[in-house]
């Protein structure tokens, strides 16, 4: 919870610093924050798709084609099997995916929220 609040706070501070340094108009702020929010939303979606293992059948098919076209040595196959079964590597990958998913979600929510607040200010003022 503290990490979420600190990431959101840092994101807001960065946006405030950028706005003050560049002297952006409110409409430009809305545009930039919306674009950055959409980019981080796409990154978040990519992480979720990778984490859901939706593309495993697709990549496994290409691996089989690769093995048929370019035969590998037994040592190479053994090294790949060891890498696939390494629990520390699997745990590390899942923790990195989880952290990246969490950070991109927080940045997306904060940035899109900033964009919406600026949009409301633009139409109210």
> Is this prediction's pTM over 0.85?
no
How confident is the model at residue 2, as a pLDDT? Answer: 76
Alpha-carbon span 125 to 121, nearest angstrom: 6
Check residue 23 and report its DSSP letter: T
Residue 112 to residues 2, 30, 32, 81: CA-CA distances in angstroms?
Answer: 21, 9, 10, 43
> In the structure encoding, which two tokens stand for residue 52, read together?
């859901």
Give pLDDT tens digits for 38-79: 999 999 999 999 889 888 888 888 888 887 888 888 888 888
Domain positions in the chain are 2-124
């Amino acid at each position: 919870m503290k990490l979420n609040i600190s990431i959101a706070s840092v994101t807001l501070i960065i946006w405030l610093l950028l706005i003050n340094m560049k002297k952006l108009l409110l409409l430009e702020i809305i545009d930039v924050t919306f674009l950055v929010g959409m980019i981080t939303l796409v990154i978040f979606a990519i992480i979720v798709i990778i984490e859901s293992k939706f593309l495993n059948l697709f990549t496994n098919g290409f691996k089989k084609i690769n093995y048929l076209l370019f035969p590998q040595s037994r040592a190479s196959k053994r090294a790949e099997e060891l890498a696939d079964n390494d629990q520390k590597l699997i745990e590390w990958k899942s923790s990195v995916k989880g952290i990246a998913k969490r950070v991109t979600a927080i940045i997306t929510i904060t940035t899109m929220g900033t964009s919406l607040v600026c949009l409301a200010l633009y139409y109210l003022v």
